[in-house]
Amino acid sequence: MPAQREPKVGRRPGNQDTRGQIITAARHAFAAKGFAGTSMRGIASDAGVDAALIHHYFDSKQQLFLATIAMPLELPGFVEQVAAGNRSDLGGRLVRTVLGVWDSELQPSLVAAIRTALTDPVLTRSVAEFFTLEVIGHVLRRDDLPPEEANRRAGLVASQILGLLLGRYVLRLPVLVNRESADLVAEIGPTVQRYIDGHS
């Protein structure tokens, strides 16, 4: 009598391929249209899947974008934590949180993602747009600011934070690498706060 086969458990074999199709379609869409101009419905159409299936794998467009550049999907949660606090010390809190994330076990994947983005001009544009709109823009979101002013402040904050990340973790400038995180928060936080408050 032939031995009974063990019942298969877990996801169906095709699921990972479907996820890969979605990521591939999303990568092309973000490259062609930028982050803001890309829709989940459009990605679903390009991937040949139902839009609801994308949400089975990714909670949001932000998460899907992060997956296309191999960045940790936890980043939106960190953004929410920063945005929830008091506005008067937002600059220091933002720098402290960013350094905390990059000094964690996520650092290798973050550095790899940034290096990959910098080698592709189209991808660089999408990453810059995502970072300014969805990360810094979300942290700075205020109903009483005209869009132009909000974008100006977000751009200035993004320039400071991205400069810090590139200098410390990618270019590894000794003056930044050899500094304690607390010192960098004390030195850079007030500058970021000035940008947040509109004083450039």
Distance CA 35, CA 113 (A): 16
pLDDT at position 42 is 94
Distance CA 180, CA 136 (A): 23
> Which tokens sit at 166?
């590139």
From 128, 192, 139, select the one nearest 164 (Cα to Cα).
Answer: 192
Digitized pLDDT (tens) for each residue of the chain, 200 residues in all: 544 444 433 333 345 589 999 999 998 898 888 888 899 999 999 999 998 999 999 988 888 988 887 776 677 777 778 878 788 899 999 999 999 989 998 888 888 878 877 877 777 778 878 877 777 777 777 667 888 888 888 889 989 998 999 999 999 999 999 999 999 999 999 999 999 998 86
pLDDT at position 142 is 66
Distance CA 8, CA 37 (A): 41
H-state helical runs in the chain: 14-33, 40-47, 51-57, 61-68, 75-83, 90-102, 107-118, 121-130, 137-140, 147-165, 174-177, 181-197
Distance CA 70, CA 55 (A): 18
pLDDT at position 8 is 38
pLDDT at position 123 is 75
CA angle 63, 67, 70 (to 5 degrees): 135
Amino acid identity at 195: Y
Distance separating the N- and C-terminal Cα atoms of the chain: 81
Q: Note the pTM of the prediction, 2 decimals.
A: 0.70
